[in-house]
Amino acid sequence: MPDRIGVYPGTFDPITNGHLDIITRATRAVDHLIVAVAANAGKGPLFTLEERVAMAQDEIDALQLSNAARIEVRPFDSLLVHFAKAAGANIIVRGLRAVSDFEYEFQMAGMNARLSPEIETVFLMASERCQFISSRFVKEIGRLNGDITSFVSPRIRKRLADRFAMRKAAES
């Protein structure tokens, strides 16, 4: 049986405990998981692509997974299905937090299936403790000096604090 190779795409700006939950659970369904960090300049990320790749790699290195799935982090700046094909992937993993995510994800899965019918999209529901976590909210709460302890690791919390301090200093 060939390896089941999955791609879990995202901007990961920054990577949160919700992302790590999906990554951990996705490793139970695939033999090799590629965490694909999208360049996505249109979203105006807080961190550069290189920083986001490094943060994702640091967080994955800190995971202590008991299964044998291999995880790697790669940047990409192309159509997701083109990236997945080039990586030899046959599964795209997407996380769903709420019903509001479903409409967008449903449309995207349909478009991807039309473009590459050999690649399946698999949806994982966010765990109960992660359903409300989003990078956008984490950044906003962190920027306003709110407590983001339960949403991101201490490493990410420090990177966010440093970035906000740097921006504040630049504005002064």
- Give the active site residue among 28, 43, 129, 168: 43
Amino acid at 93: V
In the numeric block, which tokens belong to residue 136?
Answer: 């956008």
The answer to whether residue 157 is catalytic is no
Q: From CA 12, how far away is CA 39, in angstroms rounded? A: 10
The answer to whether residue 143 is catalytic is no
The answer to whether 6 and 34 are in contact (CB under 8 A) is yes
- Give the active site residue among 19, 32, 52, 159: 19
- Give the active site residue among 4, 25, 97, 143: 97
The answer to whether residue 43 is catalytic is yes
Closest CA to 77 of 50, 58, 107: 50
The answer to whether residue 85 is catalytic is no
Q: From CA 141, how far away is CA 86, in angstroms rounded? A: 37
- Give the active site residue among 135, 139, 153, 159: 135
The answer to whether 93 and 7 are in contact (CB under 8 A) is yes
45 upstream amide cis, omega within 30 of 0: no
Residues tagged active-site: 19, 43, 97, 135
